[in-house]
Structure 1
Amino acid sequence: MQTATTRRLPRAERREQILAAATTAFARRGFAATGLDDIATEAGVTRVILYRHFESKSDLYRGVLDRACTRLATAVGEEPGTYTDAAIDALISYAGDDPDGFRLLFRHAAREPEFRAQMETFRNAMTEAARLQITELVGETSWAAWASQLAPVVAVEAILAWLDAGRPDPGDAPDHVRRAIAGVIDAASVSPS
Structure 2
Amino acid sequence: MTPKLPRAQRREQIIAAAVPMFARAGHAGTSLDDVAASAGISRMIIYRHFESKDDLYRAAIQRAADDLGSAVGGELTDGSVRDLVNWASADPSAFRLLFHQAAREPRFQQDVEELREEMAEEVHRQLTGVIDDPVWARWAAQLSLTVTIEAVMAWLDLGRPAPEQAQVRIQRAVDAVLRSVRD
TM range, normalised to the smaller chain? over 0.9
1:34, distance to aligned residue in structure 2 (A)? 1.3
Identity %: 48
* Within-5 A mapping of 1:127-138: 127-138=120-131
**Paired residue for 2:174?**
181
What secondary structure, in the 3-state scheme, does the structure 1 residue paired with 2:76 have? coil
Q: How does 1:131-150 map to 2 (within 5 A)?
A: 131-150=124-143
Q: Is residue 28 of structure 1 aligned with residue 21 of structure 2?
A: no
Structure 2 CA distance, aligned partners of 1:101 and 1:37?
A: 20
Equivalent residue runs for 1:10-49 within 5 Å: 10-49=6-45
Q: Which residue of 2 aligns with 1:101?
A: 94
Conserved? CA contact 1:96–1:163, under 8 Å:
yes
The runs of 5 or more residues in structure 2 that have no matched partner are none
Q: 1:71-103, CA deviations, whole angstroms, 9 ceiling, x for partnerless residues?
A: 11111122xxx3112111211111111110011
Structure 1 unmatched runs, 5+: none
> In structure 1, which of residues 43, 46, 58 is the aligned counterpart of residue 54 of structure 2?
58
Q: State TM-score, norm by structure 2.
A: 0.94
Superposition CA RMSD, Å: 1.4
Query: TM-score when scaled to structure 1?
Result: 0.89
- Inter-partner Cα distance in structure 2 for 1:71 and 1:174: 19
Taking the aligned partners of 1:159 and 1:94, their CA distance within structure 2 comes to 10
* Count of residues paired in the alignment: 183
Aligned-partner Cα distance in 2 for 1:139–1:59: 43
* 81, 102, 123: which one aligns with 1:88: 81
Structure 1 counterpart of 2:160, from 151, 164, 167? 167
Mapped contact 1:99–1:163 kept (Cα < 8 A): yes
